Amino acid sequence: MLKFKADHMREEFSLVDKKLRRIVTAIDAVMDALYNEGAVITSVYRDDPRSTHYYYRAVDVRTRELSDEECMNIVYLMNLMFPYGKGAYQTVLYHNAGSGWHFHVQVRAEHDEEV
């Protein structure tokens, strides 16, 4: 079952893109089934128009209870199941953007052209 770092994120998550909700739910199920750890959403909306978070097309998921290898297994599986569909972009990234290692999960806008 999905958990949220802060209560306001639950409401924000209800506003995210439907495909993104399905992907995050799948990540939660895989984390639970394989590693007995549920997903914790740590970021949904950001007030920055340069970010996919601003458009409710991205969320961050905590990974600190998983090893790097376990995280990379999830990244590989999720990107196979849910390809981004535009160039070399990925749906699920495992990265440290300055606030610690985590999954960044994103979907492209419906009107983006495939490349």
pLDDT at 113 over 70: no
Q: In this structure, is residue 113 part of a structural domain?
A: no
What residues make up the domain containing 18?
Answer: 3-106
Q: In this structure, is residue 12 part of a structural domain?
A: yes
Q: In this structure, is residue 111 part of a structural domain?
A: no
Q: In this structure, is residue 115 part of a structural domain?
A: no
Give the CA distances from residue 16 to residues 8, 37, 43, 52, in Å, rounded to whole numbers and listed in that order.
13, 23, 12, 11
| Count of structural domains within the chain | 1
pLDDT per position as a tens digit, 7-42: 999 999 999 999 999 999 999 999 999 999 999 999
- Helical ranges in 1-115 per DSSP H: 7-13, 18-35, 68-81
Q: What is the pTM of this model?
A: 0.92
pLDDT at 72 over 80: yes
Quick one: average pLDDT of 53-72?
97
* pLDDT for the residue numbered 115: 43
* pLDDT for the residue numbered 96: 95
Q: In this structure, is residue 114 part of a structural domain?
A: no
